[in-house]
Amino acid sequence: MRAIRVDSPGGPNKLHLVEIPQPVPGPGQILVKIHSSGVNFADIMCRRSEHPGMLAPPLIPGCEASGTIAAKGKDCQRYNEGDRVVVYSPWGGTYAELITIPEMYALPLPGDMSFREGAAFTHTSLTAYHALLTLGKAKQSDWLLITAAAGGVGMAISQLAKTQGLRIIGCVGSDKKRTVLDKLGIQHQINYEDSDLTDQVISITEGDGVNLALESVGGKVFDQVLAGMAPLGRLVLFGIAGQQPRSVSPFQLLEKSITWGALNLSVLFAHSSHLIQDSWEALTTLYRERKIQAHIHHNFSLQDAKIAHEILESRKSTGKIILEIES
Predicted confidence (pLDDT) per residue in 180-225, tens digit: 999 999 999 999 988 899 999 999 999 999 999 999 998 899 999 9
pLDDT for position 241: 62
What radius of gyration do the chain's Cα atoms show? Answer: 19
CA-closest candidate to residue 64, choices 115, 105, 122, 6: 122
For residue range 124-160, list pLDDT tens digits in order. 999 999 999 999 999 999 999 999 999 889 999 999 9
How many C-beta neighbours within 10 Å does residue 117 have? 22
How many C-beta neighbours within 10 Å does residue 58 have? 11
Distance CA 258, CA 274 (A): 28
Distance CA 241, CA 221 (A): 11
Q: What is the pTM of this model?
A: 0.93
Q: Does residue 52 have a cis bond before it (omega within 30 degrees)?
A: no
pLDDT for position 326: 75
C-alpha distance across the termini of the chain, in Å? 13
∠ CA 110-114-118, nearest 5°, is 70
CA-closest candidate to residue 221, choices 141, 321, 149, 312: 149
Q: Give start-end residues of each CATH 3.40.50.720 domain in the chain.
A: 140-263
Distance CA 312, CA 139 (A): 32
Cross-strand bridge partners of residue 251: none
Cβ–Cβ under 8 Å, residues 2 and 62: no
Pairing of strands 320-324, 29-39: antiparallel
What residues have CB less than 8 Å from 143, skipping those under 6 apart? Answer: 166, 167, 169, 205, 208, 209, 210, 211, 212, 230
The highest-level CATH class for domain 2-122+266-324 is: alpha beta
Cβ–Cβ under 8 Å, residues 259 and 229: no
Q: Give start-end residues of each CATH 3.90.180.10 domain in the chain.
A: 2-122+266-324
Distance CA 200, CA 177 (A): 17
pLDDT for position 139: 96
pLDDT for position 242: 53
Distance CA 327, CA 319 (A): 23
Per CATH, the number for 140-263 is 3.40.50.720
pLDDT for position 303: 96
Cβ–Cβ under 8 Å, residues 170 and 149: yes
Which portions of the chain are predicted below pLDDT 70? 241-246, 327
Amino acid at 125: S
Cross-strand bridge partners of residue 319: 151
How many C-beta neighbours within 10 Å does residue 50 have? 13
